[in-house]
Structure 1
């Protein structure tokens, strides 16, 4: 007996090998591989429904170049052509955009900026001996500082980062400008504060000083209007796509897969 039933959409069987390959693209708990299989079966059942409808309408494909070296497949182009023909998306109006912004203007903020200095004791964290030696060195530097930020620039002369030429100063950083393990302590440090313990990143051990911070600011409507309009357009397209697929499914015979959310 097969572990999973065949997936059949309007008398068209989706090969198990295709579902197994698609399952690689879907997350699931390690102890529940069946969830990935069901997600893959659902995705391929929807794809099959759409391709069947495209063929019923005698649509032709015209693959587009999505990015350098990345061109749509014939199936992707057919599905795009189908959705372009079948979906009618009402235009997003100025009133729609302003109403979405007015629901909670506080959601739309600039990113915070941190003015940062650091001292790096470089190492490969995967090398235990090297990591331990660099950690010992970093703790010794931190002990010499003894919480005194004024001596930070002098201590930074021994840093393994090129910023040592400017007293360890890295300039202004925003979210995503550095590795996550370095960014995390910046969010809780007070202005003028240093990390109480060295921080390990993929580059080595850091002693981090937050010189100053510019908090996130609420952005004016005109600055965020394009972003809100784009989000509303995407949401409208997603709703229309979902409704179209549901309508196709209501008139189809599908076994071995469910189109209900998993």
Structure 2
């Protein structure tokens, strides 16, 4: 049992809360659940002290209807200035560009993620086919013969693709590559890919006026999260909590 300023949080409540905190092991889930209930109780107690309307029972955080009012009353959250937005834009130009376009052909040598033998064989075959391509073989012919992708019917052509159209692990490698045949197979959840980039069209920088509100929203939310975390930390420090030690927690609030 945990005591939060003389209010009890039972083991049963912690067990019920665990469903909202999936983790690699039961202990970690229990700690996260206990922490969530403690923080919820501290916020509930503070809201009551300020005369805000609070449900009497300790519900999961998603049921609490007082938190926004409490934060608005207690936490000063500055808004990002135009100058701060411009500075963020200047320091992060890659975030504010349209996606590059790639004209890509590939050969997929399929292998399930959990089939180690098949993946070793697929990689070895991919390396052999890359050597053949370097020696003059045609990708379209090899694609029709070996590829497990429907694109083999069009000689392995995927047409033009932009970011977000393929799986992340494939995308990371091809969008950072230069035009031409990639000399190493590209691994993905589907197996190994032999990739040829026929053309690469760089993305265009978006003007500040187009992304200013997006930047402001991002910076404001970032500041809000930090301010709320500091506020919760202050409530924890000022509280009498028995049965749980936040100093042993790996919560971001305690870092």
TM-score for the superposition, normalised by structure 1: 0.70
**Corresponding residue of 1:222:** 209
State the Cα deviation string for residues 33-88 of structure 1 (Å, max 9, x = none).
87766555433321110122234424156xxxxxxxxxx8433x333443345445
Relative to total residues, which structure has the larger helix share, 1 or 2? 2
| Whole-Å separation in 2 of the counterparts to 1:140 and 1:107 | 36
**Corresponding residue of 1:64:** none
Cα distance change, pair 195–17 in 1 and its aligned pair in 2 (3 A): farther
Is 1:43 the counterpart of 2:39? The answer is no
**Corresponding residue of 2:45:** 52
| Whole-Å separation in 1 of the counterparts to 2:178 and 2:205 | 21
Cα distance change, pair 246–94 in 1 and its aligned pair in 2 (3 A): same
**Corresponding residue of 1:194:** 182
RMSD (Å), alpha carbons: 3.8
Unpaired segments ≥5 residues, structure 1: 1-5, 62-71
1:106: Cα distance to partner? 3.4
| Whole-Å separation in 2 of the counterparts to 1:139 and 1:96 | 49
Task: Indicate if the aligned counterparts of 1:115 and 1:211 stay in contact, CA closer than 8 A.
Answer: yes
Is 1:16 the counterpart of 2:16? The answer is no
| Whole-Å separation in 1 of the counterparts to 2:19 and 2:245 | 13
Which range is displaced more, 82-91 or 185-194? 82-91
| Whole-Å separation in 1 of the counterparts to 2:22 and 2:114 | 30
Question: Per the alignment, in what secondary structure is the counterpart of residue 45 of structure 1?
Answer: helix
**Corresponding residue of 1:157:** 144
| Whole-Å separation in 1 of the counterparts to 2:197 and 2:29 | 44
Is 1:115 the counterpart of 2:106? The answer is no
State the Cα deviation string for residues 130-164 of structure 1 (Å, max 9, x = none).
5566556545543432354x722333233332222
1:234: Cα distance to partner? 0.7
| 1:49-198 matches, cutoff 5 A | 49-56=42-49, 57-60=51-54, 73-75=62-64, 77-102=65-90, 104=91, 106=93, 108-110=95-97, 111-127=99-115, 131=119, 138-148=126-136, 151-158=138-145, 159-187=147-175, 189-196=177-184, 198=185
Task: Indicate if the aligned counterparts of 1:114 and 1:174 stay in contact, CA closer than 8 A.
Answer: yes
Question: Per the alignment, in what secondary structure is the counterpart of residue 59 of structure 1?
Answer: coil
Unpaired segments ≥5 residues, structure 2: 56-60, 248-252
1:216: Cα distance to partner? 5.1
**Corresponding residue of 2:198:** 211
1:228: Cα distance to partner? 1.1
Aligned residues: 241
State the Cα deviation string for residues 194-219 of structure 1 (Å, max 9, x = none).
333x4443323321112232345544
